[in-house]
């Protein structure tokens, strides 16, 4: 009986500890055993986008699956700022839960947050960035700056709060059609994405589009893997975005990071961990199996 009570108390304390480490800026689900592996999904998404990867690796790592405030039904933050708040909160959480061999993986705006987290310190020795650029507008217009993007941001990112719920959901689905190859994956992503807060989507995407990290990348001392997609079907729609140009954009924008590896995954779009799950897993494993280059 004492053993049962002791086990229940331990379970209570463990659960309480996990809840206590969550914050208004995000929620976290912890699963698996091993070194800490922090996962940050992209805009509107919940951590379910990493489910396959987690399932395949949960015997090797303890995954901290983060869902950001306002995304995928998670309660939204108050106020008109997003990135500074969630970055600060996640930084504090990682400092409490990281291990010697911790890993950080971020997709889209989650990758952008991963760059923010490590720009002033090597918070995590190994960082995996999934289809994220330090300054996305410059991939379309090389003359783009923070200032001119701020002046015209309403033209690039609409005010989603003015949309009806049905129109907002339709917009998300339309966006996803260019970001993932399978209709079933669109449905899978939308299971959580449809519950995203419209103000959060507006604020977070406008901050992403008006923040240029390129000149701060030389401060990043982590070892970084950047995975980015290529899809020949999309190149037919956007002929200027050739395979060579996309590679050049990534190489140029990430040139400030000393310890970096850039890898293209073909026949994939923005959600490349869904489009090419096996190749994605292979690339990540190859990166993690190498000796750590940074101390």
pLDDT of residue 13: 35
Largest Cα separation within the chain, whole Å, is: 70
Per residue in 118-134, pLDDT (tens digit) is 987 779 999 999 999 99
Q: Model confidence over 1-44: pLDDT tens digits? A: 434 434 333 333 333 344 435 679 999 999 999 999 999 999 99
What gap in Å lies between CA 203 and CA 83, rounded to an integer? 9
Listed in order, strand segments (DSSP E) in the chain are 26-32, 36-40, 62-68, 103-107, 126-130, 223-230, 260-266
Task: Tell me the per-residue pLDDT of 225-240, one tens digit each, with 9 for 90 and over.
Answer: 999 999 998 878 888 8
Assign domain 2-289 to its CATH superfamily. Alpha/Beta hydrolase fold, catalytic domain (3.40.50.1820)
pTM given for the model: 0.91
For the segment 195-215, the average pLDDT, to the nearest whole number, is 97
**Integer Cα distance of 292 and 228 in angstroms:** 22
Locate the domains of the chain by residue range. Answer: 2-289
φ and ψ of 248, to 5 deg: -65, -40
**With pLDDT > 90 as the criterion, what percentage of the chain qualifies?**
83
- Per-residue model confidence as pLDDT tens digits over 269-284: 999 999 999 999 999 9
Which of 133, 151, 128, 134 has the alpha carbon at shortest distance from 215? 134
CA distances from residue 163 to 11, 170, 292 in whole angstroms, order as listed: 44, 10, 47
Neighbours of 1 (CB within 10 A): 5
User: How far is 102 from 93, CA to CA, in rounded Å?
Assistant: 13
């Amino acid at each position: 009986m004492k053993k049962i009570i002791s086990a229940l108390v331990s379970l209570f304390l463990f659960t309480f500890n996990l809840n206590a480490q969550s914050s208004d800026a995000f929620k976290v689900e912890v699963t698996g055993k091993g070194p800490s592996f922090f996962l940050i999904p992209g805009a509107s998404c919940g951590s379910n986008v990493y489910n396959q990867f987690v399932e395949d690796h949960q015997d090797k790592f303890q995954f901290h699956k983060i869902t950001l405030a306002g995304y995928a039904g998670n309660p939204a933050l108050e106020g008109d700022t997003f990135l500074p708040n969630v970055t600060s909160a996640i930084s504090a959480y990682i400092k409490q839960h990281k291990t010697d061999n911790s890993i950080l993986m971020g997709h889209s705006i989650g990758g952008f947050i991963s760059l923010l987290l490590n720009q002033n310190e090597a918070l995590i020795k190994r960082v995996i960035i999934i289809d994220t650029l330090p300054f996305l507008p410059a991939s379309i217009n090389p003359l783009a700056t923070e200032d001119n993007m701020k002046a015209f941001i309403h033209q690039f990112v609409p005010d989603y709060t003015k949309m009806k719920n049905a129109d907002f959901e339709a917009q998300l689905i339309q966006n996803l059609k260019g970001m993932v190859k399978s209709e079933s994956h669109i449905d899978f992503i939308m299971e959580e994405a449809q519950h995203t807060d419209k103000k959060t989507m507006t604020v977070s995407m406008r901050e992403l589009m008006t923040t240029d990290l390129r000149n701060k990348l030389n401060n990043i001392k982590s070892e970084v893997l950047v995975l980015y997609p290529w899809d020949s079907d999309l190149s037919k729609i956007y002929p200027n975005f050739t395979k060579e140009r996309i590679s050049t954009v990534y190489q140029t924008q990430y040139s400030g990071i000393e310890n970096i590896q850039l890898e293209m995954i073909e026949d994939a779009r923005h959600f490349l961990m869904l489009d090419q799950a096996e190749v994605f897993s292979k690339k990540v494993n190859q990166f993690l199996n190498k000796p750590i280059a940074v101390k």
